[in-house]
Amino acid sequence: MTEAPIRVLVVDDSAFARKVLKQVLSAAPGISVVETARDGLDALEKIAELKPDVVTLDLLMPHLDGLGVLRSLGGAPSPRVVVVSSAGEESELAVTALQAGAVELVHKPTALATDRLYELGAELVAKVRTAAGAVVRPSEPVQPVVKAEPRPVNSTGQRLVVVGTSTGGPAALTRLMSSLPADFPAPLALALHIPPGYTEALAKRLDLNSALEVVEADNGVELRPGRAVLARAGMHLRVARDGDKLVGWLDRVPLQTAHHPSVDVLFQSAAAVWGSGAVGVVLTGMGDDGLEGARAIRAAGGHVLTESAESCVVYGMPRVVVEAGLSNARAPVEEMAALLERYVR
């Protein structure tokens, strides 16, 4: 029996962009572009009429922008939203959209109406297919919080928490970081699959919503209690020792892996440097990045926690870790902070 095609609505205020996106999606097997929309109001009318499976959503539009569309949808189970955005000025809007319920992000190679837009074709098709199988979770408003005071690293019995995620990751990281208390006793390093140009904005948003300090990774950044370091998109983040300190280092010439940053690379470095004190957390995501890293952490005597299927946007990365027998415990993302505290205190 032939599966029904994925029904897509393309939303962009540029007629040329609508044409390009429609062409590249229509050429892909199993995808049908049911209509296009020129702005947010037009999009909401066509979503109500056509009930598409996936919407590709521009952010900067007249009348009603992309964030307005997402807020109007209110976390409804369908359609799934793939944001198509330029970095730079739009990066903060794109991060906000991911926190508000969009499940994927595709980076426009140019904001201009040129043939370079065709370069996003393969990525767009792949992420529309991923989004079609995703589960949309209602977003929850998160309030800014008072920061924790920096505290020195206690090298005796100190834990190190490394977190990996992909599809649905910005919202999952927001929920996790906003739930951790100011006195959380372990440093954190976070790896997320996201296009380059968006992690600085995401780190700032997470920092605003967390009692802990959240910073984008740079070479030599100290990992200490009270701080979470977010891997810079396009580069791997590794954990290393610098005297009695833990620091993060970036691979500016990344290894040949499917994702940059790689969850496996981060987890494996934590296992090598911190041994049984490493705690890995695998959140929502597509694929198996993190599986080999989880294996390394368990082999070193550390622990691995996984997000349970009930709260995942895509139950892929956690599932392969569970099926390999490497997960010490599971919890929905809303309860992950409490579970994590039990393993680090």
Residue 254: what are its φ and ψ, rounded to 5°?
-60, 150
- Which segments in the chain show pLDDT lower than 50? 1, 148, 150-156
Boundaries of every domain in the chain: 6-132, 160-344
Tens of pLDDT, residues 43-86: 999 999 999 999 999 999 999 999 999 999 886 677 999 999 98
pLDDT of residue 203: 97
CATH code of the region 6-132: 3.40.50.2300
**Over pLDDT 90: what percentage of the chain?**
80
Element at 158 (helix H, strand E): none
Tens of pLDDT, residues 4-38: 899 999 999 999 999 999 999 999 999 999 999 99
pLDDT of residue 84: 95
Architecture per CATH, 160-344: 3-Layer(aba) Sandwich (3.40)
pLDDT of residue 154: 40
pLDDT of residue 321: 97
pLDDT of residue 156: 46
Cβ-count burial of 292 within 10 angstroms (0-12 exposed, 13-18 middle, 19+ buried)?
middle
Q: Do domains 6-132 and 160-344 have the same CATH topology?
A: yes
Asked if residues 246 and 223 have their Cβ atoms less than 8 Å apart, the reply is yes
Residues 6+ apart with CB under 8 A from 160: 186, 187, 189, 223, 239, 246, 270, 273, 274, 277, 278, 279
Rounded-to-integer distance, Cα 105 and Cα 329, Å:
30
pLDDT of residue 152: 41
Token digits for 12?
Answer: 């962009």
Q: Which residues are catalytic?
A: 166, 193, 289
pLDDT of residue 153: 41
